[in-house]
Amino acid sequence: MTTANPSPPISKPRRASNAVPMLVVAAAVLLLYWPIMLLANRGVAQRALDSGAELGCKTALACATQLRNPVIPAPAQFLEGFKSLTIPPFAPTSAPYNFLVTGGETLLGLALASLLGLILATLLVRSRSFERATLPWLVASQTVPIVAIAPMLAVLLGQYGVQGFLPKAIIAAYIAFFPVAVGMAQGLRSPDQLQLDLMRTYRASPFQVFSMLRAPASLPYLFTSLKVAATAALVGSIVAEISTISFSGLGKMLAENSRASDTVALWVIMVYGAVLGISLVALIGALEKVVTRWRPAAR
């Protein structure tokens, strides 16, 4: 009696690397950079030529890559500005040093925002009365422009001796706690009624329901909220550096170069800020993969 050969296992198609779409977008941006740069700078160059300025070139198109303060810097100008702001990397006026300062403020602000958000989310879920009393005020707190409230918070904290690094982190936490609180509250409420009834059937205590059901179910919501909060904390740190007396940070560099009308430096600093934001979100994404390894992989 012959037995049928077992069919070979069906191999699942490999998932495309997440880096591929990013590289495609980056390539498209690089291809469009040159024509957009010429188009943006052509008008400025033409007005300079019409005013009789000596730019060392005859046509507006040729001068578009040689402007002292271009709207969008040419690649050579950007590379030169990047080099001048990067080397030496740990000088107080260099972008990498100030990148680390702003990154530290943002991480501390995100940590404070996460702690406050988790406490508020737990209280919002545990008490409907607390939710009705405080949620409108939490929403209202996010409608105040951070540019207006940052100097007031800095002055208030300064009266109690809180100066330097910490006030920026507190201001960052102020605008970052809300996504964590709302997202975590939604996550803690995500278990359905059947799951809650099953826990009650096993006579689980409220703490056991929270630690064994609600908290694990809320982790995907938490990390999604943290990614939003990280970008908010970064914006808060930079705005705090601009709006208060600061001696370091990307915000301080933005303010100084804006007053000097150095557009090339502004572009370099904005790129550093973008890299910092991407790095923070990537760090949270890596932490999410470690913490939620029990979750099935998304298709």
For 10-55, write each residue's pLDDT tens digit: 444 444 456 788 788 888 888 888 888 888 888 888 888 888 777 7
- Of residues 57 and 257, more confidence is placed in 257
pLDDT for res 221? 92
**More confident call, 105 vs 199:** 105
pTM (two decimals)? 0.83
| 99 has a pLDDT exceeding 60 | yes
pLDDT on residue 109: 94
Mean pLDDT (whole number) for 139-160:
80
Indicate the fold that domain 95-291 takes in CATH.
Answer: MetI-like fold (1.10.3720)
Please say if the pLDDT value at position 222 is more than 50: yes
Q: Taking residues 268-283, what's their average pLDDT?
A: 94
Highest mean pLDDT among 51-60, 124-133, 204-213, 264-273: 264-273
Handedness of CA 70, 66, 276, 293 (dihedral sign): positive
Over residues 148-166, mean pLDDT: 78
What is the predicted pLDDT for the residue at 123? 93
Q: What pLDDT was estimated at residue 294?
A: 66
pLDDT mean across residues, the chain: 85
- The pLDDT of residue 276: 95
Query: Taking residues 69-79, what's their average pLDDT?
Result: 89
Tokens of 256: 């100084």
The pLDDT tens digits for 229-241 are 999 999 999 998 8
Output the pLDDT for position 5: 52
Per-residue pLDDT band at 215 (split at 50, 70, 90): confident
- Mean pLDDT value across residues 62-66: 83
Q: What is the pLDDT of residue 18?
A: 63
Tell me, what's the pLDDT at 24? 85
Taking the domains of the chain in order of start, what are their residue ranges? 33-72, 95-291
The reported pLDDT for the residue numbered 11 is 46
